[in-house]
Chains A and B, each alone.
Chain A
Amino acid sequence: MNEIAFDLEHQPSYASLILNLQANQTVLVEAGAMAAMDSHIQMKSKMRGGLMKSLGRMLGGESLFLSEFTAVGKPGQLYLSPGVPGDVQHYYLKGDGRCLIVQSGGFVACSPTVEIDTQFQGLRGFFSGESLFMVRASGKGDIWFSSYGAILEIPIEQEYVVDTGYIVAFEDTLDYSVEMIAGLSFRGLMTGIFGGEGLVCRFRGQGKLWIQSREIFSLINFLNPFRPTRSSD
């Protein structure tokens, strides 16, 4: 279910999110994600929850500002595109106290009644090496998140293991722990590649998990040897 009417086009590799706002309906959007809109839609940059919370957002790898878009007086349409080509997924927060944990770079938009918390420290284990930051969405309303590559939903019944670099979002009904699987590690072999330390997240319980089919580090690793070498002079 959803409060804001929406369409997704060009999934999964070039997803574009189209929001059909009712008269005077408002949506919060990641700064810079707006691609096109009707001319009567008003935009306001907003620091939600004051300066300190906004700073927390910045530290979380998220831009400092969210933009607030309102269809003033009559319905209006808004096109949103994430910065990296890939997929977009919708989720509805029921307002029952359950939260959604989202990879911080993946936030696209949400209802104004959704609270985005970047200060929570629940995923400390993620911070080793992969620099993966997560935000917690709570409250009631719609949220959209994005990834590089396609998004796949995995319903977890008991337990599942995921490479930390591929986590897009998960329901907080799942317990999680970050661990090293030695059998996956190829660190210390002077391969000079990012990742590959065998860091995985083990989820337990019942809930939904979303993973992405590609990781941006792989592209960076590939391009690295093609960079020019610094000249000696």
Chain B
Amino acid sequence: MEIQLLQQPDSAIAKVILEANEEIVAEAGAMIAMSPHINANTTLRQGKGGGLLGGLKRLLGGESLFLSVFRSLGRSGEIYLAPDFMGDLLVYEMQGEELIAQSTAYVASASTVDVDLGFPGFKRAILSGESLFWLTISGHGPVLLSSFGAIYSVPVNGEYIVDTGHIVAFERSLNFDIGKPPGSTWLSTFLGGEGFVCRFKGRGTVYCQTHNPGAFGRLVGSQLPPR
């Protein structure tokens, strides 16, 4: 599998070249165009919180319910994949360690990569109203992630704080804790409009996005006619 990223950074699109009978798993709706002999199947990924209930949880989390599996039958083929938002793409190579990603950032992964729904350590982030949902990614092979705006990586060695809405993904080698920004009280956090923050400890990389989809959605959505 070869992944080429085109039109970076703000209209990024991935051209994936599959070998004969190779598979790629993608978020339903991510396929833009493909070779005619690529076979598509939509599946419900059974993760830790899988099954119907897991599907419902994902729906509430703002993630589409289904994943599509694309398989290049008999010979090599190509497929174009793109995320929903204007922004960049990142290829992360899994090497047996775990990666935690925001559900909206997930675009696609090799079939040798496991994508589990949810991450128990993040229950409080869901309560915070950010409507975030998290994926635990493991295994070997490439993962394609997207961002709203540009992506930047922060190599953490020690301690670092990132607003939960700006996290794309982070390596599981990091310890983390969700809470309010340091020095603030819960009341000032609420009034100040700053969301929950994630405090990372240890060594590892955090991938961040320059813009917060939730903040954008609240700003524009509040100006639209009521539902």
Contacts and interface: CB of A to CB of B under 8 A. Distances in A.
Given A183-B41, A226-B221, A229-B227, A213 B66 contact: no
Given A13-B10, A149-B11, A224-B227, A189 B66 contact: yes
A221 to B, nearest CB: 7
B11 A181 contact: no
A106 interface: no
A204 to B, nearest CB: 8
Interface in A31-78: none
A195 B7 CA distance: 24
Interface in B28-87: 28-29, 31-36, 38-42, 59, 62, 64-66, 68, 80, 82, 84-86
B35 A223 contact: no
Contacts of B220: 223, 226
B144 to A, nearest CB: 14
Interface string A204-223: 00000101011100110111
B86 A13 contact: yes
B115 interface: no
A145 interface: no
Contact of B82 (A160, A185, A214): A214
A6 to B, nearest CB: 21
A196 B217 contact: no
A193 B28 CA distance: 11
A90 interface: no
Contacts of A160: 33-36
Contacts of B222: 226-228
Nearest to A204: B36
Contacts of A86: 11
Nearest to B68: A184
Contacts of A191: 59, 64-65
A225 B226 contact: no
Given A152-B7, A160-B35, A228 B42 contact: no
Contacts of B28: 184, 186, 196
B6 A152 contact: yes
B84 A218 contact: yes
Contacts of B213: 222
B35 A225 contact: no
A153 B39 CA distance: 23
Contacts of A227: 221-222, 224-227
Contacts of A228: 221-222, 224, 226-227
A183 B25 CA distance: 13
B24 interface: no
Contact of A163 (B33, B42, B224): B33
Nearest to B62: A225
Of A163, A213, A219, which is in contact with the most chain B CB atoms at under 10 Å from its CB? A213
A219 B217 CA distance: 9
Contacts of B40: 181, 183-184
Given A150-B7, A223-B220, A230 B226 contact: yes
Nearest to B67: A186
Nearest to A167: B33
A12 B11 contact: yes
A226 B218 contact: yes
Given A152-B80, A213-B7, A223 B224 contact: yes
Interface in A145-192: 149-150, 152, 154, 158-163, 166, 181, 183-186, 189, 191
Contacts of B36: 158-161, 202
Interface of B: 6-7, 10-13, 28-29, 31-36, 38-42, 59, 62, 64-66, 68, 80, 82, 84-86, 213, 217-218, 220-222, 224-227
5 contacts: A149-B86, A214-B82, A218-B84, A225-B221, A231-B226
